[in-house]
Amino acid sequence: IPGLMLGAFYILYILITGFVKPEAAPIPPDAKPITLGAFVNVMKAVLPTLALIFVVLGSIFAGIATPTEASGVGAFGATLLAMYNKKFSFKVLKDVVGGTMNTTAYIFAIFIGATCFALVLRELGG
């Protein structure tokens, strides 16, 4: 709630400053007017991603899934979104799998280093 309040206050500050002192927030000269079609296009782009975020976080907060299970659902949903947006390819899949493998290897290297450190510290009487 504090974060939402802070965000709302920032938005209010910007809006009030823009109305009171219009030169502080000028409209760009090449700005297009907001139309219903533009709004619909933005919603088409934003809503699937928001739905994915709500499904993943909602399943964790509701106790339906563990964070690990929710991450699997999120990965599957992100893959479906990539297919829907026609951005999915095997090159993208290879890059994602490679990045995931690197991150997992780094985490395990940290675990191994921490275990070795704890073992040495314990044997030295620390």
Segment 38-76, tens digit of pLDDT: 999 999 989 999 999 999 999 999 999 898 888 888 888
| Mean pLDDT, rounded, for 96-108 | 88
Burial class, 81, CB count within 10 angstroms (exposed 0-12 / middle 13-18 / buried 19+): middle
Confidence band, pLDDT 50/70/90 cuts, at residue 9: very high
Provide mean pLDDT across the span 85-101: 87
- Global pTM reads 0.58
Q: Which residues contact 14 (CB under 8 A, 6 or more apart)?
A: 25
Q: Quote the pLDDT of residue 52.
A: 93
Mean pLDDT of the chain: 90
For 105-116, what is the mean pLDDT? 94
Give the angle 47-52-55 at the CA atoms, nearest 5°.
120
